[in-house]
Chains A and B, each alone.
Chain A
Amino acid sequence: MKYTYYPGCSLKGTGRAYEESLLAVFHALGVALEELDDWNCCGATTYMSYDEVQSYALAARNLSLAKKTGRDLMAPCAACYLGLHKTQNYVRDYPWIGHIVEHALTVIGYSTDLSVRIRHPLDILLNDVGLAAIKAKVVHPLNGLKVATYYGCQLVRPYALFDNQREPTSMDRLLAACGATIVDYPLKTQCCAGSQKGTLPEVGLDRIQRLLAGALRVGAETIATVCPLCQFNLEVFQEQAGNAHPFNLPVLYFTQLLAVAFGTPLKQAGLQRSFVSIEPVLAHREIAYV
């Protein structure tokens, strides 16, 4: 099994731990990943706010490159995942967009074949690798660690391709297979307010507070995320959000929890990059880690 890997800008910066743990987990499972050569920014939500069609063109370059590799394209960042899918759909559904984008691709000498299969690691792990193979790799079961799985928006909306749109369970099943207890977190698909914490701080902070309070309310010991921005919001601003009552809630990428379960050394799982360490919780749950 081999996939073309599209990291996206965040996984090289604030979301570094996502990339590290992702690579470690896939390596442990024997799934090869090759980073898409000379990938460019997908545009995410910000470029889309600046110029939609240029945004599609940017994403399309990646799709064209990926199609050439002959393998499925894996995009772990939820915004990239959505952006790439949206581009594929809109180029096809709106002929005028398709015309502009294909013209631009041709001008720079690229193929206009954008039909690469865009996958998410959750999808690949569940459906290609399979729970059995994952269970087999678990050396440190998560001993009922209470996890609030937080999917956020862009992974399930508007395209819910491998999971239920309103009640997703893919991450739940994956982590449960490693021994975690998934708590019933009704806010699991509510928006974290994205970049608003930076631009409209009081709005952003309010959303972050609610999500964190909600997780604690249902007894979560950690939150598992799929999106670098969600993770950033919930963890980096946690201190500010907590104010007088600190939350002390570790927020990890689901791949980091998998990595712990697989016995991956801390550094390889990117755990040293956390602002709120998971180590006390792991100790409390008597989960051995490397």
Chain B
Amino acid sequence: MELKRIVKFEVERDPAFARWITQNPGGERIRHCLQCGLCSASCPLSLWMDYTPRRLMHLSREGFKEEVLSSYTIWLCTSCYACAVECPKGIKVTDLMYALKARAIQEHFYPKRFAIPELAREFSRMILGWGRITESRLVMRVFFKTALGRMIGLSHLGLRLLRTGRLRWAREKVSRQIEIIGLLQDVAATRKELAR
């Protein structure tokens, strides 16, 4: 048997991370979490999670950044808002999941070629480039990067989508793309300033 000795010292906590989560929109009430587990029980995806949403909330507010950002939980969340609506303390768990996802993507806390962050990155690239998503092209790019084999396996579906006119190659785009670029760049700039 592979033994592991686990004890968590206070210095291992990341208080900045804990503070960050409470300051996130939706996290104002996280200190009120009673650990009742209603979020986990309402969540349709919790059955697959390594840390249930409830556990993740507690780990987050205590500042155990590494455990939180490397969990499967944040990637499994589909933002169905069931937890946020049911939470008896009004904690917007979904919003916190979004924040954790974004942070994990920023800090590259995920295995190589993991589809979900790759999807997020490709999505954002397409927006920056064209302002709208052309589904067919997006799916191709993500599959190419992460699961080429599976894509080939689903090719018959792809063909059928083509036949029924649901897969369009024509590029969807915004004519005043410069506005989109300007918008996104300004947001990044203002945020940098505020961080200072």
Residues of B within 8 A of A14 (CB): 135, 161, 166-167
In the complex, whether A97 has a CB less than 8 A from a CB of chain B is: yes
| A contact patch SS | helix
Judged by a CB distance under 8 angstroms, whether B187 is at the interface is yes
Report whether over half of chain B's contact residues are helix, strand or loop; otherwise say mixed.
helix
> Which residues of A in the span 30-58 have a Cβ within 8 Å of any Cβ on B?
38-41, 43, 45-54, 57-58
Q: List 10 A-B contacts (CB under 8 A).
A: A14-B135, A38-B175, A57-B184, A58-B184, A61-B179, A61-B183, A100-B187, A105-B183, A157-B80, A200-B115
The 9 closest A-B pairs by CB, nearest first: A191-B80, A157-B81, A153-B80, A199-B115, A9-B133, A13-B135, A104-B186, A194-B78, A49-B101
Any B CB within 8 A of the CB of A248 = no
In addition to A46-B123, A96-B194, 20 A-B residue pairs with Cβ atoms within 8 Å of each other are A9-B134, A13-B166, A13-B168, A38-B176, A41-B132, A43-B127, A46-B119, A49-B98, A50-B105, A100-B194, A104-B190, A109-B179, A154-B79, A157-B81, A157-B82, A165-B85, A191-B45, A194-B79, A200-B115, A201-B150
**Interface hits, B46-86 → A, CB 8 Å:** 48, 75-76, 78-82, 84-85
Residues of B within 8 A of A107 (CB): 182-183, 186
Q: Is A16 part of the contact surface with B, judged by Cβ < 8 Å? A: yes
Q: Number of contact residues on A: which range applies?
A: 35 or more
A16 and B166 contacting across the interface, CB-CB below 8 Å: yes
Given contacts A157-B80, A201-B150, whether A40 and B194 have CB atoms under 8 Å apart is no
Tell me whether A52 and B99 are in contact in the complex, defined as CB-CB below 8 angstroms, given that A46-B119, A47-B124, A104-B190 are known contacts. Answer: yes
Task: Report the tally of A-B residue pairs with Cβ distances under 8 A.
Answer: 186
B30 to chain A, nearest CB (A): 16
**How many residues on chain B are close to A (CB under 8 Å)?**
61
Contact of B127 among A41, A200, A203 (CB under 8 A): A41
User: For A200, what are the chain B residues with a Cβ–Cβ distance below 8 Å?
Assistant: 48, 75-76, 115-116
Which stretch in A118-126, A133-141, A270-278 binds the other chain? A270-278
Contacts A47-B123, A49-B98, A275-B160 given: A153-B135 contact, CB under 8 Å?
no
List of A residues within 8 angstroms of B88 by Cβ: none
User: Given that A14-B135, A46-B119, A61-B179 are contacting pairs, would A158 and B76 also be in contact in the complex, using a CB cutoff of 8 Å?
Assistant: no
Contact of B116 among A105, A199, A236 (CB under 8 A): A199
| Among B101, B139, B164, contact of A275 (Cβ-Cβ < 8 Å) | B164
Asked if residues A45 and B186 are in contact (CB atoms below 8 Å), the reply is no
Asked if B25 is at the interface of the complex by the 8 Å CB criterion, the answer is yes
Chain B: CB-nearest residue to A204: B78
A196 located at the interface, meaning its Cβ lies under 8 Å from any Cβ of chain B in the complex: yes
* A58 and B183 contact, Cβ closer than 8 Å, known pairs A90-B25, A203-B48, A273-B165: yes
